[in-house]
Amino acid sequence: MAHLKKVLESPMKIRFHDCDPFNHLNNSRYLDYIMTARGDQLADHYNLDIYKLAREQGVGWVIAQTQISYLAPARLMEEVIIETQLLSFSERSLHLEAFMWNHNKSHLKAVVWVKFVHYNLITQKSHSHDESLMNFFSQIVNPLQQETGFEQRIKSLKATA
């Protein structure tokens, strides 16, 4: 079995149309950048095309919950690094953590936790992950060393920054 990376990262550039009048990335666009990066990372690192799964098998994931902490502004034309990892998974859900960093990962700009529910597009109901997905998730999951809530996670990240 090949060793799969658990923490993935990719660069992105902050674009004009995503910024507010102060040349900061608009708050609502942080999630767009992170979801775009994660989709690309899944395809590039794991050969998992979530759009192909939706087209061919009628399954995907919907966002059930997001928590985000904005720590520093991302600015127009700045290159940022989006880092993602799967913190946990269950039969029907995934818990993703994402960071947005400056270009050299010396300043953390945002932390996001997202809970995804596996969803059947045909029945329009939550759906159990099949065995192959459960096996895949078990290879890439990267749980936190100690269980914590979002606010405590932010405090600990700020303390180590």
Question: CB-hemisphere CA count at 13 Å for 17?
Answer: 2
What domain range includes position 144? 7-160
Q: Into how many domains does the chain fold? A: 1
Give pLDDT tens digits for 34-82.
Answer: 999 999 999 999 999 999 999 999 999 999 999 999 999 999 999 999 9
The verdict on residue 123 lying in a domain is: yes
Query: How high does pLDDT run on average in the chain?
Result: 96
Q: Quick one: CA torsion of 135, 149, 7, 46, rounded to 10 degrees?
A: 30
CATH of residue 92: 3.10.129.10
The answer as to whether 57 is a domain residue is yes
Percent of the chain topping pLDDT 90: 94
Does 74 map to a domain? yes
Query: What are the pLDDT digits (tens) for 113-155?
Result: 999 999 999 999 999 999 999 999 999 999 998 889 999 999 9
**Which H or E run contains 13?**
strand 7-13
In a domain, 1, yes or no: no
Q: What is the pLDDT of residue 159?
A: 87
- Which amino acid is residue 7, in one-letter code? V
Task: Kindly state whether residue 2 falls inside one of the protein's structural domains.
Answer: no
Q: What is the pTM of this model?
A: 0.94
136 part of a folded domain? yes
Distance, in Å, from the CA atom of 109 to the CA atom of 81, rounded to the nearest integer, reads 10
CA distances from 65 to 8, 19, 62 (A): 21, 24, 9
76-96 pLDDT, tens digit per residue, is 999 999 999 999 999 999 999
